[in-house]
Amino acid sequence: MEIVPFSPELKNVFVELNKAWISAMFKIEPADIEEFSLIEQAIEKGSQIFFALDDNKNVLACCMIRPCENNEWEILKFAAKGMSTGTGAGSACFKACVEYAKQKNADKIIIVSNKKLSQALHIYKKFGFTEVPVDKEKFPFERGDIAFELVLNSKRNMTKSEKISVYETVLPQIESLVSGVEYGISSLANIAAVLHRNLGCFWTGFYVVDGDNLLLGPFQGDAACIKIPKGKGVCGTSWQKGETIVVEDVEQFPGHIACSSLSKSEIVVPVFSATGKITAVLDIDSDCLATFDDTDKLYLEKVVEVLKCYESFV
């Protein structure tokens, strides 16, 4: 199988493949017709279409990506021959679109789809996309009843509505991952992974309480400080005070421990056991200033609430 970009001789194949796919599941809408008529213009403006070809140069699948406003890119017109090739052609085309957006330094990739397309939804989630509300003003297709996004560039802080959407999506995932797990460190590792992937921050992880120190626990990101005394730095202070600390600029926090010069803002949330003992702290760092606010505080405190079943992590 070979993945190739758009060429004029593949235009009709792209149109017919998508028309067949849309007609089989839904109906062709005026916006579809307009998009099919403007393919060359879209390519000239930076869009790209990737095709998966078999050994005989037959098209198995195709997928388009185009630039939108605010450095966001949209994946659209994702179709496979016969709806399901079983060859991985669809995933390969989709991956090519994601990589193309990364090469263009996109901040975010968005997708509007339909809940009936279970196979496509599986692919989106496999690549780390998270569900978000459908913006019908931007995407007026009647068949669009579910949307996804993948944040690629953490340099742009999320809006409040974007944060709420992400947290409301990941909270049930985290609760499911922790439920019934006896080994607490495993739960910390999974939570760090889910938050890091979906929040797109510079560093996400836990420090666990051991005597008078916090010891580095499971994390995602660059190498970090191994031991933090109680009352020292943002993490140690959060532990000592027993409260969440939001820091808009780490350079302005007295006694900040600089594990990395790339860290610009930070939030630390204490983890309480069922008996009220602090067992760890959740630490998230951003390479942008003023990334965290009361929305993060509210939802991250809900996140660590699922860890109250553990009396210790060491």
For residue 86, the model assigns a pLDDT of 66
Is residue 154 scored above 70 in pLDDT?
Answer: no
For range 234-246, the mean pLDDT: 97
Pair 137, 171 in one domain: no
Q: How far apart are the first and last CA of the chain?
A: 49
Is residue 300 scored above 80 in pLDDT?
Answer: yes
DSSP assignment of 259-282: S-TT--EEEEEEEE-TTS-EEEEE
Is residue 251 scored above 60 in pLDDT?
Answer: yes
pTM (2 decimals)?
A: 0.54
Pair 177, 145 in one domain: no
298 inside domain: yes
Pair 95, 197 in one domain: no
Q: What is the CA radius of gyration of the chain?
A: 23
Beta-bridge partners for 213: 210, 229
Q: Domain of 136?
A: 2-151
Pair 127, 166 in one domain: no
Asked if 263 contacts 203 with a C-beta cutoff of 8 angstroms, the reply is: yes
CATH code where residue 182 lies:
3.30.450.40
Pair 114, 164 in one domain: no
* pLDDT tens for each residue of 26-46: 999 998 999 999 999 999 999
Is residue 83 scored above 80 in pLDDT?
Answer: no
What is the count of structural domains for the chain? 2
CA dihedral 106, 291, 175, 310 (to 10 degrees): 140
Pair 143, 211 in one domain: no
Q: In the 8-state DSSP scheme, what is residue 312?
A: -
Pair 83, 200 in one domain: no
Instruction: Give the chain's mean pLDDT.
Output: 91
Q: How many CA atoms lie within 13 A of 85 on its CB side?
A: 21
How many contiguous H segments (helices) and E segments (strands) does the chain have? 9, 13
Pair 198, 291 in one domain: yes
Pair 147, 164 in one domain: no
Boundary residue ending a domain (110, 126, 151): 151
For range 288-309, the mean pLDDT: 95
